[in-house]
Amino acid sequence: ELKVEQNPLFLSMQEGKNYTIYCNYSTTSDRLYWYRQDPGKSLESLFVLLSNGAVKQEGRLMASLDTKARLSTLHITAAVHDLSATYFCAAMGGATNKLIFGTGTLLAVQP
Amino acid sequence: SAVISQKPSRDICQRGTSLTIQCQVDSQVTMMFWYRQQPGQSLTLIATANQGSEATYESGFVIDKFPISRPNLTFSTLTVSNMSPEDSSIYLCSVRVSLIYTFGSGTRLTVV
């Protein structure tokens, strides 16, 4: 059964600093997704990672995938307050291609 | 990516009653997914709904408690039955089109 773990659960950062969120999954997965959720809102798609070594960047966020290590990372560069949100990774697996979510990382960027 | 209309957006319900949540998609999709997000928690998959067949439920979720309908390729409903305060959560539907999973805006359910 596919399980997805994320760490840290909570991250308090200062503006301008860099940090990385880690996402481990337990079995082979075809794809890895990253989402952002603002309080009281639904999920916003950030990245879809399709293959080993895939790297995608959007603004101050960069996601990568290592399928051999079953690890994805979301790197935050020079954090700004607007990045404060909860970030989820999710791996796709199973016969129905269901999406299994990690525990989420609550990111708080302090001025 | 698909556009999903989910309703109601929120409701407050008495324990023992039922609530039906609707999701309408702007394109035909094979599978629809229903998730629960308990306060401060991640998303947990409840079931996968295919048109024309019974939904497939995840461990810990049963059809009597969460009956699902999927009458066509653009619409699905999830009913939360015989509600208790423990059912207070956000419920979200989701579809996959090509590589992208899109989520509805969610239904915030409070059971009192």
pLDDT value, residue A33 = 96
CA angle B108, B110, B111 (to 5 degrees): 145
Instruction: Determine contact, residues A91/A25, Cβ cutoff 8 Å.
Output: yes
Q: Is B100 on the interface with A (CB under 8 A)?
A: yes
Confidence band, pLDDT 50/70/90 cuts, at residue B99: confident
Q: Mean pLDDT across chain B, nearest whole number? A: 95
- pLDDT, tens digit, for every residue of B35-78? 999 998 999 999 999 888 889 999 999 999 999 999 999 999 99
DSSP chain B: ---EEEE-SEEEE-TT--EEEEEEESS--SEEEEEEE-TT--EEEEEEEETTSPPEEPTT--TTTS-EEEEETTEEEEEE-S--GGG-EEEEEEEEETTEEEE---EEEEE-
Q: Determine the residue of chain A that is closest to B58 in CA distance.
A: A98
Rounded to the nearest 5°, which phi and psi values hold at B67?
A: -65, 140
The domains found in chain B, sorted by start residue, are 4-101 (2.60.40.10)
Total domains, chain A = 1
Query: Domain containing A86 — which CATH number?
Result: 2.60.40.10
Domain residue limits at A70: 4-110
Confidence band, pLDDT 50/70/90 cuts, at residue B26: very high
Q: Quick one: tokens of B39?
A: 């306060």
Instruction: Determine contact, residues B11/B17, Cβ cutoff 8 Å.
Output: no
- Along the 111 residues of chain A, how does pLDDT read in single tens digits? 889 999 999 999 999 999 999 999 998 887 899 999 999 899 999 999 988 888 999 999 999 999 999 999 999 999 999 999 999 999 988 777 789 999 999 999 998
For residue A90, which residues of chain B lie inside 8 Å, CB to CB? 43, 101
| Nearest CB partner across the interface for B106, out of A42, A88, A90 | A42
Contact B48 A99 (CB under 8 A): no
